[in-house]
Structure 1
């Protein structure tokens, strides 16, 4: 029984230790505790030696995988990329960083998964969705691409069964007039739901639904109406999970200010179909500012195992 949550994230710091893998734990999805004394649980020692935008998935075999963007602003922004995000988008890593574990506490050596080629820019913000009908895992990520002269970013996807062999990436979706990043996919009632960050026109978080995983999607206008009430272009990194009572919690990374107050905040809705996610952070707490990650439902036994191991 899932009665606890693991948040895999990085930290809002401008030093290399911030761009590593951190864990947070919660019993209710609102009140979070730091793991390992607020220090990284995994360090990147390959690629750019920094990782961001983590996701974690529990596979049917019982193996857990963490995938991350291979990028370190602390190590590379002002040197390799000359202080320009456009240089990262065009010339950043074509790899994702990957770790695997059977029980959350002992992790494999870091592995670099090369999904991009010369036609791709940087691979950003991977997420994983289990396509149960095909018993495959869909890894989707955002990237600039040569097909539109490395202009507005789009969402691409690959499929794998074993996290060793991966299909050649294909386009999942684009948006007219704007780049899209930070995709997150879920299923509810036989329908697929997709959160995205639109970079412009307008800037903000979108929710779409579709009848097939990789087919056409339609925007949820109830969600759009709620998002219109908050600061535009100030949230990113969506991750969603079901609370113990059955409602959905959408966590959005609030980066609209510097310093205190920056980091994830929760939005609550009855269902994904309803889409009326309302900011609900009166009872929310986390011990430090934390950034782009993914929440995974875990058991109480798993919660205690992580706490004990990293204490």
Structure 2
């Protein structure tokens, strides 16, 4: 019976091959491409081996079932691998996320955008601070050069050269962030000039310490010194006895520079200051630590 079934099956296959000969000829390239590909050829070989090992129709049916189950399992694994790869590259599809997961995703995106905005703002602020610092340094350099050129001996300040960074000049200390001149120490340099002649340095409104002691200045101290409202230490002592400080300048200075802790005016002619004006020192009672003054005859 089995032999008869095999003979009939072979005849049926031969007849189908004869009928489909023209179709095969027309689609030869397609068939050759399909059957020659490694996965398909491997599948056919495994199927042939399974059929050859079977001795009856039931065994062939069982082999078919087992074969298809194995292939289906392989395809499922391949599909899962592709899906996992897509998730790794593109992330989970939004449609598959729950409401809670969507809210978490929204929160993460907002935090990410906030960090980006913050970095942009930090960069913008840094650029603004840098440009402001350069501007402050340029203004301070111009002021200091004008002051230098007013001396009878400008060559003493040899590091004060136009086009260089004034914060690196001798006697000059700047705020590292803003570039403002904070400390100007020019004592004991034998500088010679009329008074505090060129009052441009009094426009350095961020000065906290100014020391011009032990030089050779003379004349009236300008009232613009009162613009230095942030001064904590001022030393104008031991200059020429012809350097004078009048009541108006004294009053303005004491009223504005209320943070003064050190005020040294030894050798400055203060005979023009009225006694009532000296009482203004009470403005400095909470800050003043060191005071040196003297009255010299006119």
Relative to the length of structure 1, the TM-score reads 0.20
The structure in which a higher percent of residues are helix is 2
Greater Cα radius of gyration, structure 1 or 2: 2
Q: Which has the higher strand share?
A: 1
Which of the pair has the greater relative contact order for Cα pairs under 8 Å at 6+ separation? 1
TM-score for both structures, normalised by structure 2: 0.21
